[in-house]
Structure 1
Amino acid sequence: MNRRRFLRHALAGASALALAPAWLRAQAGRNGPAEFTEGLRAHPWLAGWKSVGGESFGPSTAQIEGRLPKALAGTYYRNGPAWYERAGLRYEHWFDGDGMLHAWQLGEAGISHRARMVATSKFRREQRAGRFVVPAVGSRIEGAESIRNNDDMNTANTSVLCLANRVFALWEGGSAIELSADDLATIGPVAWRDDLAAAPFSAHPLRDDDGSIWNFGSLDMLGGTGLLIWHLDRQGRLLTTATLKDEQHGYLHSFAMTARHLVFVLTPYRMIEGKAFFERLRFAADLPCRIAVVAKDALDAPRWFDADFGKVYHFADAFEHGREIVVRAARHGNPSAARSPFSAAMRGEVADSDDPVDLVELRIDLASGTARWVETGIRGTEFPTFDARADKPGRSRIYAPIRHGLALAPYPNAIAAIDVRRGRMAVHRYGDEIMAEEHVFVPKPGSRRAGQGWLLGTLLDPVRGRSGLAVLDAERVDAGPLAMAWLPYAFPLGFHGAFSQQA
């Protein structure tokens, strides 16, 4: 097939990249900063959703409590939405904020931090205009101007990919945006191949044992159905792509991977008229999830399974045991609330979460062709991470922020190391006032046994107005941090990060 015709064939029956699908043509929002500011005065923890006031910060030296391990050296990159307000208007959806990339530099000299807005075409356009002019996925924008493709509204606000000394800010609906690893200056979008410019490259790529990268892009983001599968080598060169077709609309934010297979769980949904994408979207709890199991050496021969409805944003580990694939996931209990997490906080209002999240297992029986969800009894976990080096199936510990004991905010205030197989959990509670974000696992240099490493996790202390970084021994989480580093200022909560051992 002619490469330049690839997307036209992949999206047969869907909108072309140069056309704006209906979900990009959102209308006006009514939320304002004044209401949020009023709520913030009464509830300091709403600082987790406060807009930043500048395009860049630092470099700043963090104040360290405890002792940083000598062998831990490199940069921890974090990404998340940070710019929520313009010209008296405020986004209504957490996923809409423009991305800010953070770099925590760790080494013998201590810990330093810098942060910079990702200068996407959307962000630059709205900086020039001084107001919101680009459609958003969750908020209605009055008088939104036309766009050419997905990258015109790419916020680059979700995750980070470190690949061959290069750094990319990721969003689920468009291109990876490359930034300078040194000063976080934006270089621009990366197509991986010319005819794939602006094609969705999701925010959750997975790294294989050989260093290569697997990822997907949802064709629903282009008005179609199905997936685009990506495979890059360890240097960032495109090895292959494939399309995965399905007639049912299915939403997915991430995927899972075993040694031999990729696993995609598509949550069914329907669309109603009006408003922005996430307000028009209705997860269809009366329909089954469609599950594609794709052998890495046979991308064109997926096996499809159905399971009872379940809404998952993030997966933990996955493994094969005989003829069964087991995937661990954070499953949301309230599909309606999952469309717009912490929507009350975005408005400056206080509301306890009405979206319980359980750690569950999806068990896919390759012999019988069936799939089912199995409860683990573990509650309240999101943003799970793990060490993939387990020597036996199912032995990986899962690390996840949780809410433990009294907490000032309806948000995690602790980090847990979870042994699902034994039903055990080791917890460190940061305190009533601290808001704990995702913690990533970093292997100790030269180590081989699973769990030998550190956890790096960012924190928000809204009462003292500061953001921080915690370093814990992954094998002794309940012993508390080896070191904590605090900045003299605070940032809004982010989503995902990645550690690069290049100092």
Structure 2
Amino acid sequence: MDRRRFLRTLLSGATVAALGPALLRGGEALAGDPAEFAAGLRERPYLAGWRQVAAEAFGPTTVQLEGRLPADFAGTLYRNGPAWFERDGFRYEHWFDGDGMVHGWHFGNGAVTHRGRMVQTPKFQREQRAGRFNTPAAGTTIAEPVAIRNNDDANTANTSVVTIGGRLFALYEGGSAFELDPDELATLEPTTWRPDLQALPFSAHPLRDRDGSWWNFGALSLMGGGGLLLWHIGADARLIDAHVHALDAPGYLHAFAQTDRYLVFLMTPFDRTAGGSFFESMAFAPQRPCTALVIDKTAPDRVMRRFEVDFAAIYHFGDAFERGSELIVRAAHHDDVEHARSPHRAAMFGHAGAASPAQLAELRLDLRTGRARWHMLGVPGMEFPLFDARTAGDSGARLYMPATVGEASAPYFNAVQMIDAAADLRTVHRYGRDILVEEHVFVPRPGSTRPDDGWLVGTLLDPTRDRSGIAVLDAQRIGDGPLATAWLPYAFPLGFHGHFAQAAA
């Protein structure tokens, strides 16, 4: 059998498994109450971060910048996140279930123009017509769900966004990338990279290689099947190749890391219980170790090395680099497995909840000895670490991430920080007691090759004034605060991840 036919056969079997036990499960609906959430919101304004949007679309809205941007800062910050949580007296109980809304913040001529659009997936359109949630969800049991044909019938396109080859894609863990118009944000279609790969998972955290190509994965085990699908996409947004790697046991995987030579995947062990949606039936297994897979980029059709390391619940990775025989991978390390399984569950119900952010850790994998271990870096209260990808591959990068600093009125971030672990250096800008701070994306200065020469751009939520905003900071002078900020006359819920598309010079 030729390799492509083998891949098609293997994937078709995995797809059948994916659509069987995990997604096509019905049962009694157990979810939040919109009235209960509304009552909680009146007492705790910060819950606006988990409030449903008021409309399917916002803007275009142009607002003036407070402050001044550098002349060479230009482009669009795209953001994505769950935004539609309620229908017909039924509210999702898991944050990851909300349908995705993509935002475009375009900088130009001293102003910012914002536009937001719900991604018009088949799921969203079908439920708009029905007036109720009728599609199996990742974290909430839905009563009397409709039958679905493939993963994209349940795709919420709600997690991340990326531009490849000038094309804009909304991303989700369990299905296709949905292509959007980069200017209007209108939904075009789900992307089929090759006919035999239609509707298979193209996850939410692709990584750009130094040659301009992109790596990504699809975790088939998350949907009830088996195997890890590895994607390699060219800079022109065309498929280079795809491979499937068998897994001995299910492992949760949301993101991955890369060095100049290797891809690193960390599988967090979990068990399945009977009944409920995927996250309801998933129980992390801290009594078992995680499995780390290392794949050589020059031989992506096989796993080069497998490691076992002490349990950790990981959603997001920062940088990774090679030091001698070791691979060093920075990660946001969660100790509270229940909070990791359902982040901010209390907020989804309109209740007060404690913050449970991660701490920064290094996963150290020794390719010579086979030893794997965690090294804690002593940086608590963080998540969503990002960095300048121009950093040399033999040393650690400076990491930029939201943080909680001083008094905060919400169990969420209120500051942004830079961590240079090698130099034991930390700089912080605290936005304020009541401001909710999202991921800040690094934007390199055009024409510069010096690592960390550039800016941070990140979004904010001010629930006391019911407005969303954006800020731009000098990455090397974070403590000085924003160079420029802009606030919209409306607010929308917290999102997950963004991508900055720089304007052509």
Please indicate the TM-score interval, normalised by the length of the shorter structure: over 0.9
CA distance in 1, matches of 2:295, 2:234: 18
**Contact conserved, 1:471 with 1:483, CA < 8 A, in 2?**
yes
Shift of 1:9: 1.8
1:147 is matched with 148
**Contact conserved, 1:352 with 1:410, CA < 8 A, in 2?**
yes
1:170 is matched with 171
**Contact conserved, 1:203 with 1:253, CA < 8 A, in 2?**
yes
1:383 is matched with 384
Of the structure 1 ranges 299-308 and 344-353, higher mean CA displacement relative to structure 2 is found in: 299-308
2:118 is matched with 117
Matched, 1:55 2:44: no
1:438 is matched with 439
2:350 is matched with 348
Number of equivalenced pairs: 501
- Equivalent residue of 2:16, what SS? coil
Matched, 1:335 2:337: yes
Q: 1:7-22 maps to which residues of 2 (within 5 A)?
A: 7-10=8-11, 14-16=14-16, 19-22=19-22
Shift of 1:432: 0.5
1:78 is matched with 79
1:323 is matched with 325
- Equivalent residue of 2:490, what SS? coil
2:363 is matched with 362
- Equivalent residue of 1:282, what SS? strand
Matched AA of 1:319: F
**Contact conserved, 1:29 with 1:89, CA < 8 A, in 2?**
no
- Equivalent residue of 2:350, what SS? coil
Matched AA of 2:94: H
Shift of 1:26: 4.3
1:280 is matched with 281
**Contact conserved, 1:70 with 1:107, CA < 8 A, in 2?**
no
Matched, 1:157 2:155: no
- Equivalent residue of 1:380, what SS? strand
Shift of 1:165: 1.2
RMSD: 1.4
Matched AA of 2:292: I
Shift of 1:63: 3.4
Shift of 1:109: 4.5
- Equivalent residue of 1:82, what SS? strand
Q: 1:379-458 maps to which residues of 2 (within 5 A)?
A: 379-391=380-392, 393-458=394-459
CA distance in 2, matches of 1:10, 1:49: 36
CA distance in 2, matches of 1:435, 1:360: 24
Of the structure 1 ranges 492-501 and 418-427, higher mean CA displacement relative to structure 2 is found in: 418-427
- Equivalent residue of 1:21, what SS? helix
Matched, 1:99 2:100: yes
Which ranges of 4 or more aligned residues in structure 1 deviate by more than 4 Å? Answer: none
CA distance in 2, matches of 1:319, 1:392: 5
1:25 is matched with 25
Shift of 1:15: 4.9
CA distance in 2, matches of 1:347, 1:18: 29
Shift of 1:421: 1.1
Could you say if the C-alpha distance between residues 109 and 24 of structure 1 is closer, same or farther in structure 2, counting changes exceeding 3 Å?
farther
CA distance in 2, matches of 1:270, 1:66: 51
* Cα deviation digits, residues 350-387 of structure 1 (max 9, x gap): 0112x341100000000001111111111111011000
Of the structure 1 ranges 240-249 and 483-492, higher mean CA displacement relative to structure 2 is found in: 240-249
CA distance in 1, matches of 2:306, 2:142: 38
CA distance in 2, matches of 1:482, 1:323: 42
Matched AA of 2:151: N
CA distance in 1, matches of 2:225, 2:458: 37
**Contact conserved, 2:22 with 2:223, CA < 8 A, in 1?**
no
Matched AA of 1:38: A
CA distance in 2, matches of 1:436, 1:447: 28
CA distance in 2, matches of 1:437, 1:356: 13
CA distance in 2, matches of 1:266, 1:400: 23
Of the structure 1 ranges 222-231 and 370-379, higher mean CA displacement relative to structure 2 is found in: 222-231
* Cα deviation digits, residues 271-303 of structure 1 (max 9, x gap): 011111111100011111011000000113311
Q: Where do 5+ consecutive residues of structure 2 fail to align?
A: none
Matched AA of 1:22: A
**Contact conserved, 1:437 with 1:494, CA < 8 A, in 2?**
yes
CA distance in 2, matches of 1:154, 1:342: 22
- Equivalent residue of 1:16, what SS? helix
CA distance in 2, matches of 1:327, 1:381: 16
1:498 is matched with 499
- Equivalent residue of 1:214, what SS? strand
Q: 1:129-208 maps to which residues of 2 (within 5 A)?
A: 129-208=130-209
* Cα deviation digits, residues 453-474 of structure 1 (max 9, x gap): 0000000000001000000000
Matched AA of 2:330: R
**Contact conserved, 2:442 with 2:456, CA < 8 A, in 1?**
yes
Shift of 1:21: 3.5
Shift of 1:20: 3.4
